[in-house]
Structure 1
Amino acid sequence: MNSSSSSSLVLLGLEQLRPVGWLLLLLLLFVWLFVVLSDSLLIFVIISRRVLHKPMFVFIAAVLANSLIASSIVYPKLLRDLGQMGLSPGPVRVSVGACLTQAFMLHAIGSSSFMLLGAMALDRYMSITCPLQYTVLMSPHCVLTLLLLCWLCPPALVGSAIALTSRLPLCSSTVQRIYCDPYTVISVGCPGAMARLTAAYGLFAMVLVLFVPGSFVVFSYGRILWVCLFRSRSFSRKALQTCVPHIAVFLNYLLSTAFDLLHRRVSTGAGASHAMEGLATAASLLTVMIPTVFNPLVYGLKVSEIYQQLGAVLQR
């Protein structure tokens, strides 16, 4: 295959949305404003109310901050592309450099959120299984260390993958996507040793930042459920009430990742039909919308301490 000299990519996934482009633009604008306002309000409540200055709420604020940053990376670009598509009959193009930049920021934030969910599971595990030593084990120094680990490791791993991806020669310039991630460029890269090395490193980075924290989350909450079986009913009810919102957010991220993998498989599979490509594009759109909307709703309404303080702030 001959290497392509094109310096831009065509996002064919947006073409599937052309018939409902303006309606979708208004919907995404409303969703983005909701995400920005709700995430900002919850972060403000956690920071301003001293009673919420505890490790669990610090991690919740960090997850909400990541959600706010991720929405600011994806939604404005989607809104601009949809507006451009409505005003111009041509396809939406994005430079390879801009695509890689968005891919780096989006995956670094997403991987950081997964690691933060792992740190949150550790916090709940310590709180329920070691209540007497909890304040010592989850000291402010420990919380700060976990936050730095969750915020610094993913950019280093994802940045290395992006650096390898940027060296791939391109054999095509069209991708069935509505936004960019590392796989977007890898899927149009020319096959060879560099492509295999990039794919292998990407798999290694994914295992470190997704599957390892995910496995720890499953172990921690499984262990918590096991402990609750041998405790009093009131203790078990209180423990489960604090864990259910975090489990719901983790499952939300897990399902969103599964949707994204389904999108890649369907849209790049051999013989993918036009209808299947449209379904894959819809799955990709839901991958963007559901996590960012779900997080503030769960933490704002289902975590009783935050809900109470939110009500007090709104009343004032």
Structure 2
Amino acid sequence: MLNVTFTLEAYKRIHNQRFIFAAILTLLYPVIIFANLLIIYVISMERSLHKPMYILICNLACINLYGGSSLAPFVVANIITGTFQISWIGCLVQIFSFNTYGGCEIMNLMMMAYDRYISICFPLTYGKLMSPLNVMICIILIWLIPFSRAAITLSITASLQICGNVIEKIYCDNYSVVKLACSDTTSNNIYSTIVTFYSVLLPFFIIIYSYIRIIFICLQLTRKGRTKLMNTCMPHIVSITSFFIGCAFELFQSRFDLTHVPYTVRVILSLYFLILSPILNPVIYGAKTEKINETIKTKISNHLLDICSEYGVEFDVQNVLLGLRRKITGLFVYTQSMTKVGEYSDWEWTDYVHPDSFHGCADWKLLELCMGLFTGALLCRAAVTPPAEVLYVPPGLPPVEALT
């Protein structure tokens, strides 16, 4: 069987759009690498994030990095070189990568749903059930079970006698290879059905049950509590929805006749499963998970300041930040005071800041430039708290301490 070579027919059918797909994947693949490595780095380096939920998010980023790297470089290389064929060994490697990626991700999502379920429905036993040892065992099983399952699938598929050599997709998957077999595939079909149930349907029902119980808890909370709880669970819900939509597309495309569907649409559906989740997951968890978001901003702020210090501009940067902080503080004092003392409404907010406090940073062009270079998080995190004596408060206004 080592001399068998498969032709990936989908590349020929999208010949006119192939460079569009190559360009999109070339742009998206570095995003997959950077975004997931950023999540891994932040969670690994920040001790306050060494908790079960964030460890599972970090593991999900590792899985997305593995899944995204298993296909995108191969597709881009095939399009650029014009090679639309793949060897038997290469096909088996892709089947193994495809199955292990999907299995690992769905198990990780199931464990994240279980973690949310325990923390919300059984908070008193959460520390015992999700102890560091138990979390480590879960991480090992998340990787070990799909890899063992894929190895069995691969051994069954490798024993088949293959008669055809045309695969109607841009990559190899197990079902497409089994359809080309001219030997008995009964054992393969039975095993695939069992694996599909235990690896896709069972985790799906566990996740659904977990969130039904969470919803019942939400109904018993106040409006503020419901909002906070849903904000915590929303990134996970979006990630689960995206992944299972991709699974549904892939299963539907493999099991049913889609010859009436344009090849471009079929290729997009194939790439959806392996490309969208590795991009979407780190973005939603980085943007919507408050602690991860704050930690990322802090890390970026510190690195920017380290770069400035390395090039000898730390003094100027600190002065700019200090001046901006004092201006913002002065504006806050002015805004608060106008609600209490109406007769000062004709004052300018800059009158609250002593001119000597700027130390040469009052140049508005320089301030505007710094506002563009540094994010709000950098300004708030890195700036030095202004001394009390630099804020000038006219007679009759409340003290600065009472306002800040």
TM-score, length basis structure 2: 0.72
In 2, Cα distance between equivalents of 1:236 and 1:10: 53
Q: Which has the higher contact order (CA 8 A, sep 6+)?
A: 1
**2: CA distance, partners of 1:22 / 1:240:** 41
Secondary structure of the 1:132 match is helix
Tell me which residue corresponds to 2:188: 198
- Deviation of 1:222 after TM superposition, in Å, equals 1.0
Alpha-carbon shift at residue 238 of structure 1 (Å)? 1.8
Q: Which residue of 1 aligns with 2:251?
A: 261
What secondary structure, in the 3-state scheme, does the structure 1 residue paired with 2:86 have? strand
Q: Structure 1 residue 208: deviation in Å?
A: 1.4
| Structure 1 contact 260–283 (Cα < 8 Å) conserved | yes
> One-letter code of the match for 1:13?
A
- The structural deviation recorded for 1:264 is 2.1
Matching of residue 58 in structure 1 with residue 55 in structure 2: yes
Decide which of 12, 19, 22 is 1:22's aligned counterpart.
Answer: 19
Runs of 4+ in 1 over 4 A off after TM superposition: none
Shift of 1:24: 2.0
For residue 135 of structure 1, give the secondary structure of its aligned residue in structure 2.
Answer: helix
**CA displacement, residues 1-24 of structure 1 (integer Å, 9 cap, x when unaligned):** xxx996011000111222122232
Please tell me the residue identity of whatever aligns with 2:43.
Answer: I
Tell me the equivalent position of 1:183: 175
Structure 2 residue aligned with 1:220: 210
Select 1:79's aligned residue among 53, 76, 90.
76
In 2, distance between residues paired with 1:211 and 1:179?
A: 24
Question: For the residues of structure 1 that align with 2:13 and 2:58, how far apart are their CA atoms?
Answer: 36
Cα distance in 1 for partners of 2:272, 2:133 equals 37
- Partner of residue 32, structure 2: 35
Larger radius of gyration: 2
2:299 aligns with 313
Tell me the amino acid that sits aligned with residue 65 of structure 1.
C
Q: Which residue of 1 aligns with 2:139?
A: 147
**Structure 2 counterparts to residues 49-128 of structure 1, below 5 A:** 49-85=46-82, 92-128=84-120
Q: What is the correspondence of 1:150-299 to structure 2 with a 5 Å cutoff?
A: 150-190=142-182, 192=184, 195-265=185-255, 268=257, 272-273=259-260, 275-299=261-285
Identity of aligned residues (%): 26
What is the CA–CA distance in structure 2 between the aligned matches of 1:185 and 1:150, rounded to whole Å?
26
Cα deviation digits, residues 75-125 of structure 1 (max 9, x gap): 11111111122xxxxx61101111111111221121111001111111101
Report Cα offsets for 1:3-49 as digits up to 9, x if no partner: x9960110001112221222321211110001101100111001111
Separation of aligned partners in 2, 1:115 and 1:262: 21
Is the CA contact 1:78–1:178 (under 8 Å) kept in the aligned structure 2? yes
Please tell me whether the aligned partners of residues 112 and 209 of structure 1 are also in contact (alpha carbons under 8 angstroms).
no
Structure 1 equivalent of residue 307 of structure 2: none
Q: CA 1:13/1:130 → structure 2, altered by over 3 Å: closer, same or farther? A: same
Find the aligned partners of 1:262 and 1:215 in 2 and give their Cα distance.
19
1:118–1:213 Cα contact (<8 Å) kept: yes
Q: How many residues align?
A: 302
C-alpha RMSD over aligned residues: 1.7
CA drift at 1:278: 3.6
Aligned mates of 2:276, 2:290 — CA distance in 1: 22
What is the deviation of 1:191?
5.2
Are 1:300 and 2:279 matched, yes or no?
no
**Structure 1 residues without counterparts, runs of 5 or longer:** 86-90
- Would you say 1:47 and 2:37 are equivalent positions? no
Shift of residue 305, structure 1, vs aligned partner: 1.2
Q: CA deviation at 1:249?
A: 0.4
Deviations 1:227-269 (A, max 9, x none): 1111233322222111111111001100001111232245x45
Distance 1:74 1:5 in 2: 22
Runs of 5+ unmatched residues, structure 2:
303-404
